[in-house]
Structure 1
Amino acid sequence: MKYFLNGYMGAGKSRIGKLLANNLNYDYVDLDEQIELIEQTDIQSIFQEKGELYFRKIEHTVLRDILEKEGDMVVSLGGGTPCYGDNLEWIKNVSDAKTIYLKATVGTLTERLFLEKVHRPVISHLQTKEELEEFLRKHLFERAYYYNQSDVIVNVDDKTPEEITAEVMSKLE
């Protein structure tokens, strides 16, 4: 079985993905980390030096490679992965795959992302919490269509990573 965690940046996909994989005794794959290994640089540099379109093409290729791999795994997708090209369609066409949406409100995401925005190329230019919140509202509205097609949806607001992982596990049974 392959479980694909999606949701906006800051929702906890990497943290929950590692915990979930550990609990299930599955392999763990972080899509962004795989891209960084292949490109031998960080995501922020890829965005700055080669642009988002280049990044999305690489992301699609790496995702396809992961989909073709055998074995049980938990995969943390990038926040935009299911929203670009035919990525979501490819994931949903895999017979042994389920998608899990880690759903966070704009308020939760604003608080989580404001302090680390310098490391997030998509939001690094935003100066105030108000600008970030407005940006997140717009992006979440645009991406909700894709995220809400997930097989499992778990609200992550005001929950510990362990509580979120337990809730995900209960919905997979």
Structure 2
Amino acid sequence: MKIILLGYMASGKSTIGKLLAKKMNLDFIDLDEYIENKEQLKVSEIFNTKGEIYFRKQEHLHLKELLDLEGSFVLSLGGGTPCYAGNMDIINAEENVNSFYINVSIGTITNRLTNENETRPLVANISKDDLVEFVAKHLFERSFFYNQSKFVVKSDDKEPIEIVDEIYSLLA
């Protein structure tokens, strides 16, 4: 079984994914890190030097590559992955995949991004004042894709381990 975590940036996918993988004794893969290793560049460098279209093509190819692997693992997607190149259709067509949308409120996301914006290419140049509007608009546009996941887990006001336990119980 492959477990895929998706949601907006700063929703906690990587944190939850690592904890879930440990609980289930599975490998954890972060798609952005996987791409960085393949490209030998940080995601922000790929965006800056090769552009978002190039990145999205690589993201699509590497997602398909990972889904074709044998075995079980937990995979954390980038925030935009489900929204491009028919990626959600590919994920949903896989029989041995359980996808989870980590649903986080706009307020929680903007609070987290305020502290991390330098490492996030899409928000690196957005002022704190404009961040709420940006996230709200982006989340509205992306929610169509996120809500196509098999499960939706609301995560506001929950500790990461509580979310892991909830996901684990949904898999049982």
| Residue of structure 2 in register with 1:77 after alignment | 77
- State the superposition RMSD in angstroms: 0.7
| Residue of structure 1 in register with 2:131 after alignment | 132
| Residue of structure 1 in register with 2:16 after alignment | 16
| Residue of structure 2 in register with 1:146 after alignment | 145
Q: Number of paired residues?
A: 172
Alpha-carbon shift at residue 156 of structure 1 (Å): 1.2
- 2:142 paired with 1:118: no
Among all aligned residue pairs of Structure 1 and Structure 2, give the percentage whose two residues are the same amino acid.
Answer: 49
1:21-72 deviation digits (Å, cap 9, x = unpaired): 1111111111000000011010000001111000000001100100100001
Unaligned stretches of 5+ residues in structure 1: none
Amino acid at match of 1:122: L
* Distance in structure 1 (CA, Å) of the matches to 2:111 and 2:85: 30
* Distance in structure 1 (CA, Å) of the matches to 2:67 and 2:162: 28
* Distance in structure 2 (CA, Å) of the matches to 1:94 and 1:67: 8
| Residue of structure 2 in register with 1:104 after alignment | 104
* Distance in structure 2 (CA, Å) of the matches to 1:133 and 1:111: 9
Alpha-carbon shift at residue 139 of structure 1 (Å): 0.4
The residue matched to 2:124 in structure 1 has which SS?
coil
Unaligned stretches of 5+ residues in structure 2: none
Alpha-carbon shift at residue 85 of structure 1 (Å): 1.1
Amino acid at match of 1:29: I
Alpha-carbon shift at residue 82 of structure 1 (Å): 0.5
Amino acid at match of 2:122: V
Map 1:22-101 to 2 at 5 A.
Answer: 22-101=22-101
Amino acid at match of 1:147: Y
* Distance in structure 1 (CA, Å) of the matches to 2:64 and 2:169: 28
Alpha-carbon shift at residue 172 of structure 1 (Å): 1.5
